[in-house]
Amino acid sequence: MRRIPLSRRSHITGFQTLPVSVLTEHESALERDFVALTTFRDGAARIISQPITLSFREGPTPRRYTPDFLVHWGDGRAELVEVKYRTDLREHWRELRPGFIVARSWAREHGATFRIATDRSIRTPYLENARRLLPLRAAPVDSAVTARLLAAFDSLSTPTFGALVAAVPGERAAILGTLWRMIARGELRTDLSVPIGLHTRLALPRGERR
């Protein structure tokens, strides 16, 4: 089991269950967000916490470095990932850099890539959408309301979130709940890199015609 040391930033500890039934540990809020983001982007991704400890020498000094995650994406790619706050990265760069160089070499030798994920790349509107939508992927969907939403979608020249809700008769809570679930499941698509609102444009998945 991963031992989780305390640090000035690592105040949140826990486990996160992924859709592929892999239990991934995280030791900080930023790592938790990285796991959620990765899981949302690729439901088939396999995330391994602290997958390897690399031993190396910096001059006469023996050192060790353990990357945070190894991600096996559903398309076959593999990434060795270090998760760091930008402030920590800047403050400790000279100390951290030798380990990153060794990790990049190890990744190259094992058919993977190495990258550093920071709060700038993790904490985006995409993450906020992932937090909201990820729990809804496994939630039950009302098939009758789904059919009404898809019928209304076909009738709209510019299907937006708000226009679709307004076009469907019935209980508003059920319509909203079903619509969010359809977006979470990919049955309706939108730009998840920006916040979802009433004016958000919606589309059918690529290749689908109605």
Q: Which CATH architecture has domain 14-123?
A: 3-Layer(aba) Sandwich (3.40)
Asked whether 30 and 121 are in contact (CB, 8 A), the reply is no
Q: What tokens does 98 get? A: 């030798």
Residue 203 has pLDDT above 80, yes or no: yes
pLDDT of residue 26: 54
The helix/strand/coil state of 14 is strand
Residue type, 168: V
Domain ranges of the chain: 14-123, 138-210
Supply angle C-alpha 30, 176, 36, rounded to 5: 15
Residue 49 has pLDDT above 90, yes or no: yes
Question: Which value, in Å, is the radius of gyration of the alpha carbons in the chain?
Answer: 21
44 falls in which pLDDT band (50, 70, 90)?
very high
Mean pLDDT, the chain, whole residue set:
87
Residue 99, CA distances (Å) to 63, 86, 145, 200 in order:
8, 17, 53, 43
Q: What is the largest CA-CA distance in the chain?
A: 74
In CATH, what class is 138-210? mainly alpha
Residue 10 has pLDDT above 50, yes or no: no
50-90: pLDDT as tens digits:
999 999 999 899 999 999 999 999 999 999 999 999 999 99
Q: Tell whether pTM > 0.75.
A: yes
132-157: pLDDT as tens digits:
999 999 899 999 999 999 999 999 99
Within a 13 Å sphere around the CA of 10, how many CA atoms are in the beta-carbon half? 15
Which spans in 92-187 are helix H? 93-109, 119-122, 125-133, 143-155, 161-167, 172-185
